[in-house]
Chain A
């Protein structure tokens, strides 16, 4: 009987995983792309090899909801196997890369991390003759500060921070970050739950440079955030989707591309570009020094900038694409979308993050933890802990004394 049960369980699991795998194969038909120079990919010298791609989670068109499965298509065309894994933050990526335990052929860090990786000699120079599609990249996103001579990177996605607000709850159209400090919205304001982005909002409002290393400037920004704290409902990252969709909060600074996901579930949401500017970031494809298959990785980069592929990615991720061919396509859902591609003039005050020196880095995170726990509530926690410890001690002493007393009594 027990044997039977064990067999049954094993069979159940095996069949489940078999079913899952079996289902996965035939139902991948939707989302075909017609790549123009198919032969270029077919006749590559890397057939049969493998590349290890390390990208953000949910940052590629993966065949979901009828989209193109980019990695599968690449594998079919080129015969190169793609090991696709994900990371969650630039710092995670850095840690994995620096540990030396993993060989990645292609990574997609953000601007400031690229600056750091180049500084530490962790990236290889690209051979742009293998990436002809680099010509499609918008001039705006070439030669940026982290890679001024276009030697290491090919831009993948561009994003910016803007103010997402609920039209029903915010009467006027906000045009400044000052609205996040407005007392009438007490308890309805959301704020970034990561120090760099949160400080950037305060720095914009104060007209400061995000990459300033002067501690006095950071103190100023900290005071601004502290001033805002009483009216902030909560500091959030992905929770922002639920809170904004349900209408529980009036506004939140967040990444523009993610607004579209929220708007699908709540028509009252809108985007404003505050006049003080905000953060703009570029995630770009690079090849780390640990790469074992550089040529195939370059082929992959080229494939990602293939107009049809870039279109699929742009549709799926809904961030701004640096690929000019996609912008011309009529089938592109976000073509000339005023939210994703607003007027150039709006970007006048937008700033990139640079890699901060470690002192500034730790200054910022200290300020951040001070902000999150706050001086006064921190004290009450300590008082509570001390009171608790005292109560335990008193009880212990009392117990001990009573027992001694009893023992004496019985003796």
Chain B
């Protein structure tokens, strides 16, 4: 009986928590369908702001930039992260391994603003060394994004190695695989869920990064978060609510997918052996 009481309390707590988490998003979604541009007065349902969004060339360009940057940087950081994870995994010396891990984790622990400013200084400094002005742009943003994504990718992949039986690769090589064949046929399939999770995480991190992007962005390439931030002289236009709603829905899908993949990976080994037990 006492158990039921606590669970009621727990439920109330959870509800409150969920409301606090999701109320802002719900409000945003509701007002994206508002027919006027107010965020306090709901004057009627309309899809006006969605239509407006697709007509707003600068926003669309910023959105496209954001997606391009996210896709490219996630691809690079996944590959780099995968290599680093393999390297770290096969490092023998414990001391060396942990110091490597600490080093790669620095971009994650560092406050964004410090990373952003120091990257900007570095790029500008490197630019002056090469006698080039105006170095900030897509390239610098790409480097910055890859840098802060790397630790997340590595941290997603490393546990997969730990869960994997290290002798499998050796067995494959015993049975005639070249090292690269062994990697692609045995190792990679085992760690793939971690790679995918890392890639998705890198992608979402890139999508919503503002602070670092803000410092390293240049005149040719502006992402959506920077554009929205700069709207604060006048008011943020409601087509941004429409866009945020769309982005939120896509993110939700991605997160669900991420969870499904992770669950499957976790149950994967056990599920199969479970099946085998059954006649």
Contact = CB atoms under 8 A, between A and B. Distances in A.
Nearest to A95: B215
Nearest to B63: A20
B192 interface: yes
Given A2-B192, A5-B261, A24-B57, A242 B124 contact: no
A290 interface: yes
Nearest to B234: A58
Given A20-B54, A64-B239, A241-B39, A85 B222 contact: yes
Contacts of A9: 200, 253-254, 257
A100 B39 CA distance: 39
A52 interface: yes
Contact of B234 (A1, A50, A258): A258
Task: Say which size band chain B's interface belongs to.
Answer: 35 or more
B226 to A, nearest CB: 7
Interface string A49-77: 01011101111001111000101100000
A173 interface: no
A364 B55 CA distance: 43
A27 B51 CA distance: 9
A12 interface: yes
Given A58-B234, A238-B232, A103 B52 contact: no
B60 interface: yes
Contacts of A12: 250, 253
B41 A58 contact: no
B235 A261 contact: yes
A87 B57 contact: no
B250 A102 contact: no
B105 interface: no
Interface string A160-177: 000000000000000000
Nearest to A52: B219
A24 B60 contact: yes
Given A63-B56, A102-B219, A88 B233 contact: yes
Nearest to A243: B40
B233 A266 contact: no
Contacts of B128: 100
A261 B55 contact: no
Contact of A238 (B40, B216, B235): B235
Contacts of A89: 233
Given A103-B133, A245-B41, A63 B227 contact: no
Nearest to B67: A17
Contacts of B234: 56-59, 258, 261, 317
- B interface majority secondary structure: helix
Contacts of A1: 264
Given A16-B250, A20-B60, A62-B57, A5 B260 contact: yes
A104 B134 CA distance: 8
Given A17-B67, A83-B220, A264-B37, A28 B231 contact: no
Contacts of B67: 13, 17
Which of A6, A62, A101: most chain B Cβ within 10 A?
A101
Interface in A82-123: 83-89, 92, 99-104
Interface string A235-271: 0011001110110000000000010010011100000
A23 B56 contact: no
Interface string B137-156: 00010000000000000000
A17 B261 contact: no
A21 interface: yes
A222 B237 CA distance: 34
B157 to A, nearest CB: 15
Residue among B41, B135, B260 facing the most chain A CB atoms (10 A cut-off): B41
B13 interface: no
Nearest to B34: A265
Contacts of A243: 40
17 contacts: A1-B264, A2-B192, A5-B260, A13-B250, A16-B246, A17-B64, A63-B57, A85-B219, A85-B220, A87-B230, A88-B233, A101-B136, A241-B235, A258-B234, A261-B234, A265-B41, A292-B134
Which 8 A-B pairs have CB atoms at the shortest separation, nearest pair first?
Answer: A103-B134, A52-B219, A57-B230, A86-B230, A246-B40, A101-B136, A58-B234, A265-B38
Given A57-B229, A57-B233, A100-B124, 11 more contacts: A9-B200, A12-B253, A21-B60, A28-B57, A50-B220, A57-B227, A63-B56, A99-B124, A241-B39, A261-B234, A265-B41
